Structure 1
Amino acid sequence: MDKKEGKILIIDDDQAVLYTAKMILKQIFTQIRTASHPSQVMPLLEKEHFDVILLDMNFAQGKTSGQEGLFWIKEMLKADEEAQIVVTTAYGDIDLAVNAMKEGAVDFLTKPWEKERLVATIISHYERHRSQQEVSQLKNREQALSQDLESPFSEIVSESAAMESVFDTIMKVSATDANVLILGENGTGKELVARAIHRASQRSTQPFIKVDLGAVTETLFESELFGHAKGAFTGAVEDRAGRFEIASNGTLFLDEIGNLSLPLQAKLLTALQSKQIVRVGTNKPIQMDVRLICATNMPLYDMADQDKPTFRQDLLYRINTVEIQLPALRERVEDIPVLLYYYLQQFGKKYQKGKLEISEHIIRQLQQYAWPGNVRELQHAVERAVIMSNSNRLEADDFLISKKHQPTSNIRNSYNLEEVEKKTISEAIRKHQGNLSQTASELGMGRSTLYRKMKKYGL
């Protein structure tokens, strides 16, 4: 039998008891410590955590009241408030056991204890303690991620009309459990929108788990999302819950879903349809209850409409109950000044640069730049400018905008058909505030054709 990765502390003034308990428990747990008096381990409890502490209630010669044990329970819980203390006494005094548990002990054993009873009691509280730790760590981590600030969209900085419809959709869809598909170029803030939906939902106190599908290999996909059993494959040294299980009752955010191969899409679709997952190496189905949010910068509709589709239509329909299209930064240029001031304040404080300024002339120049990397590129440009600037007034050179990207207003009076088409599509997208269905309708082309054109021109 493989040993449990646990630390057990045994405290008893009877050396025979210490020896026997250690010999029994070291066959089950990886680490066993012993001490003949609680005072010997108090400095240790300040620095080290034990899964279970087995504590005798009497230490002074001739003492049988258990008052020493009650005292040390209090002291140990001061050092480690999560300590799982199981007390032992040779006298089977029920009142003493009750008092010990009132002081914070989790269980008691009477001497002489039976081996099976000792083992069962220690294992029970070890597993309970580990389970509490895992839940506590997960809840704390995810609550920190999902903690609301003053605004429901505190991290999404915008005053543009193009984003108003996005905010409106977020508020409407957050009140439901509908699956959401977020579309948009790299750097437009798809993860921020996903987190905003989660924070405003009824699942906000539960986990928000992100999976970057672009970084998950074909061989690890099932293990990563569905989990695996110990020994299921080389390197599976212990049971592991997948992302669907970890996100239970919360939100699962599948980023870059357009990168999934067709075989992996089929596996994901099966799980979503059945609302069950099966860990690799087992046959036992596990029910799942998650709110699914997916995101991609790829043209899924175009990929699903091809003669040889690279994205399954049935999966697309499963994940896009509600769709949110995020506009590119060039389609919301009125947000550039707001974003600039936001990041100037943020990075000025981070790098202790004090109050930073930027002229209206520089802002207008930055508004003419195409920002192919969108808000993320702007954020990085401001951070670099703050770091490298020698004064509290930022200049154009501080931003080092690539010269190969011409200002969006430079295409004028051109008769080049591709330039004209690119400009026309860009203006139509801006006119309809990023609504690609309306844009495609006005341009007289299908949505999949519009996606192809946008990809071609880098829009």
Structure 2
Amino acid sequence: MSARRILVVDDEPGIRQALGQLLEYEGYEVKTATGGAEGITIYDSFRPQLVFLDVKMAGLDGLEVLKRLRQADPNATVVMISGHATIQTAVEATQLGAYDILEKPLDTDRVLVLLRNAFETRLLTEENERLRETIESRYEIVGRTYGIRALLERIDKVAGTPARVLITGENGTGKELVARAIHRGSLRAKKPFVEVNCAAIPSELIESELFGHMKGSFTGAIADRAGKFEQADGGTLFLDEIGDMSLSAQAKVLRVLQDGFVTRIGGSKPIQVDVRVLAATNKLLEDEIANGRFREDLFYRLNVVPITVPPLRERREDIEQLVVYFLQQFAARDGLPARGITDEALVRLSELDWPGNVRELRNTVERLVILASAATITATDVERLVGKRSAEPAGLGNLVDCTTFEEFKVAAERAFLLAKLRAFDWNVSETARALDMPRSNLYKKIERYALTRESTPA
């Protein structure tokens, strides 16, 4: 690891020499400047991690240099040094972004303590920045087809507004990525992003999850608990799979959207919340409204700006880019070099049917990374580990060839179940829940139709 770099800017030769010798003795790489203009020039090429900067100098004074350094590099860590520091000077330096201010003559022990604290703070800041970039990279929207460009353009237009957004699209298309991108581009970006999967929470618990509860309000409520609306105060609440929310919870969500207050279960005091609500669903809510399963007034409250995420089959040209992106992601996660992949393997993957969309593609790439026999993934690996699936809609080509209606029903059910299992990457529990079918029944049908990952539509 290279030595940490420090720049000393002071017009007194004695200060430059004494401070420089101390820092070099402690193992730092040091450069010095005799004035503000020289200090700015050296900073640009030296890129120090910390600057000691005199307040009073001929020409550009320290406060002006501090201002310019912070404008050029908002992360600059600058310690002011002064022979006659005043409260006003200290306040002004702090307002301009100085890390600290030291008085002359410099106390060696205090300098060393300050250095340790300053570099620990900088290390934490850099680590937080890397962590933020890592987290954000997980939610990047990848692609360059027209459908993705149009999607990103709409996200850019709506993100900076307070408008509610209803995101629609098939399972696995990336509706959560859209919600996170909207939050990241909004004025609420530094506030919480809170997600609720309405389909994964039992109907009897969804209201407690959203609005919170008071201790003793129901069996198992052993303490007061804030709901998701309160947790998202000042930020964004993402209601995923809103079409699966109970009518009772829908009514309460509507009330919160209307007046901005929530009341915990078992509580009597309304709590004001400032939350931007984004919602997503894979259902056609107009049909749910017609069948009495979704409130029309809530639909209009949520659907201020509609965004539809295109399925992968409508942007097949993005598949190769997505595969490479996922390979890089898995390599970064595991701390390993990225797996190679042959052009033939990429072409084969781009030709396959992906009813589970980007989620299924990501899971498939991870399977290839884990199970491929060599460092470079080949078309043979794709054939062996993914199967020879047609890029046509599952089973439709063969359904019309059925000779009897009973044969058609069997073939259609087999094709339907196969597509759904693939959509959930063969997670039987998740598939059964999505189909509103007992898991035992789904297992029986898998056995009856001899369904496997490598199955081809009948």
TM-score range with shorter-chain normalisation? Answer: 0.5 to 0.7
**Equivalent residue for 1:267?**
252
**Equivalent residue for 2:365?**
382
CA deviations 1:158-185 (Å, max 9, x no partner) are 1111111110111111111111111111
- The 8 Å contact of residues 188 and 374 in structure 1, kept in 2 or not, is answered as yes
**Equivalent residue for 1:436?**
none
- Out of 293, 300, 314, the residue aligned to residue 278 of structure 2 is 293
- The 8 Å contact of residues 152 and 199 in structure 1, kept in 2 or not, is answered as no
CA drift at 1:335 = 0.6
CA deviations 1:258-306 (Å, max 9, x no partner) are 111223222221222222111111221111210000111111122223x
CA drift at 1:199 = 0.8
Does 2:312 align with 1:329?
Answer: yes
Does 2:293 align with 1:302?
Answer: no
- The 8 Å contact of residues 344 and 379 in structure 2, kept in 1 or not, is answered as no
- The 8 Å contact of residues 212 and 256 in structure 1, kept in 2 or not, is answered as yes
Supply the distance in 2 between the matched residues of 1:258 and 1:231 (Cα, whole angstroms): 30
Supply the distance in 2 between the matched residues of 1:146 and 1:259 (Cα, whole angstroms): 33
- Out of 393, 407, 410, the residue aligned to residue 391 of structure 2 is 407
Between the two proteins, what is the percent identity of the paired residues? 46
Deviates more, 1:342-351 or 1:281-290: 342-351
- Out of 243, 247, 254, the residue aligned to residue 239 of structure 2 is 254
- What is the aligned residue count? 278
CA drift at 1:218 = 2.2
CA deviations 1:19-78 (Å, max 9, x no partner) are xxxxxxxxxxxxxxxxxxxxxxxxxxxxxxxxxxxxxxxxxxxxxxxxxxxxxxxxxxxx
CA deviations 1:300-342 (Å, max 9, x no partner) are 122223xx33222111111111111001111111111101111
Q: Structure 1 regions of 5+ residues with no counterpart?
A: 1-139, 420-459
Supply the distance in 2 between the matched residues of 1:274 and 1:145 (Cα, whole angstroms): 39
| Paired residue type of 2:267 | T
> In structure 2, the residue corresponding to 1:228 is in which secondary structure?
coil
- The 8 Å contact of residues 355 and 392 in structure 1, kept in 2 or not, is answered as no
- The 8 Å contact of residues 340 and 382 in structure 1, kept in 2 or not, is answered as yes
Shift in CA distance, 321/283, structure 1 to aligned 2, threshold 3 Å: same
- The 8 Å contact of residues 368 and 385 in structure 2, kept in 1 or not, is answered as no
Supply the distance in 2 between the matched residues of 1:350 and 1:394 (Cα, whole angstroms): 18
Does 2:316 align with 1:371?
Answer: no
**Equivalent residue for 1:213?**
198
**Equivalent residue for 1:94?**
none
Deviates more, 1:407-416 or 1:340-349: 407-416
TM-score, normalised by the number of residues in structure 1: 0.55
| Paired residue type of 2:189 | S
**Equivalent residue for 1:360?**
343
CA deviations 1:344-367 (Å, max 9, x no partner) are 222234446534322222222211
Supply the distance in 1 between the matched residues of 2:251 and 2:397 (Cα, whole angstroms): 49
- The 8 Å contact of residues 344 and 378 in structure 2, kept in 1 or not, is answered as no
Shift in CA distance, 274/417, structure 1 to aligned 2, threshold 3 Å: farther
**Equivalent residue for 1:192?**
177
CA drift at 1:404 = 7.7
Shift in CA distance, 317/398, structure 1 to aligned 2, threshold 3 Å: same
Shift in CA distance, 240/256, structure 1 to aligned 2, threshold 3 Å: same
Shift in CA distance, 151/274, structure 1 to aligned 2, threshold 3 Å: closer
